[in-house]
């Protein structure tokens, strides 16, 4: 039963409770940084690291945290890991760090991170909390990479910087601009809702 719960925590973030497509959390960085697949991957990996580590630590310290000051303490824990991510990215991937800019420090106030800390990690053990962080983080990363790849291919003719559409391709520049972000995200949300409805109906018909 425990393994089943951990497996559910690991997988729910991909579609059933996808933080972007279903829960509509973290939309600001989702729209802002996904002009390319590499930006989406970088932001997703950074957020996943912060999610897993903050969930784990918060799960461990929750018995020691007074209820009245739990949110400031949670934010302090999250900010610690965001600082680590920011410094590591600046040292080893400076170009990506510069491209993502202010959105790396803003992970501190990302609704996904604080939401999982408050709604899940503060109520469950370390294994389930870590699994929840991994699942939500991977779901967030997959969404950002798919969104970034879609926009990059149509708007620039490339994927992860490699030209795949040929010299004759005429890019739709709008797709790597803010309107393209809203259009692409709307299409992904609609697609995910359609899949969820079909899955739900299929399960009910059995």
Domain residue ranges of the chain, discontinuous segments joined by +? 2-205
User: Could you give the CA distance from residue 100 to residue 110 in angstroms, rounded to a whole number?
Assistant: 14
pTM, entire model: 0.91
Angle 196-130-52 (CA atoms, 0-180°, nearest 5)? 90
Q: HSE on the CB side for 37, CA within 13 Å?
A: 16
CA 107 to chain centre: 10
What are the pLDDT tens digits along the chain (206 aa)?
Answer: 467 778 888 999 998 999 999 999 999 999 999 999 999 999 999 999 999 999 999 999 999 999 899 999 999 999 999 999 999 999 999 999 999 999 999 999 899 999 999 999 999 999 999 999 999 999 999 999 999 999 999 999 999 989 999 888 999 999 999 999 999 999 999 999 999 998 887 655 44
């Amino acid at each position: 039963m425990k393994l089943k719960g951990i497996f559910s925590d690991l997988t729910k973030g991909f579609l059933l409770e996808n933080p972007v497509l279903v829960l509509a959390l973290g939309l600001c960085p989702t729209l802002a940084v996904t002009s390319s697949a590499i930006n989406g991957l970088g932001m997703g990996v950074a957020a996943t690291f912060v999610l897993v580590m903050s969930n784990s630590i918060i799960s461990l310290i929750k018995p020691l945290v007074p209820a009245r000051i739990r949110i400031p303490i949670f934010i302090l824990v999250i900010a610690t890991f965001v600082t680590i991510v920011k410094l590591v990215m600046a040292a080893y991937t400076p170009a990506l760090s510069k491209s993502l800019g202010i959105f790396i420090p803003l992970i501190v106030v990302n609704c996904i991170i604080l939401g999982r800390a408050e709604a899940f990690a503060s109520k469950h053990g370390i294994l389930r909390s870590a699994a929840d962080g991994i699942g939500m983080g991977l779901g967030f990363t997959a969404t950002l990479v798919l969104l970034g790849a879609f926009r990059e291919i149509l708007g620039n003719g490339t994927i992860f910087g490699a030209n795949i559409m040929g010299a004759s391709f005429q890019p739709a520049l709008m797709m790597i601009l803010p309107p393209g972000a809203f259009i692409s995200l709307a299409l992904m949300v609609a697609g995910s809702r359609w899949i969820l409805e079909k899955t739900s109906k299929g399960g009910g018909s059995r």
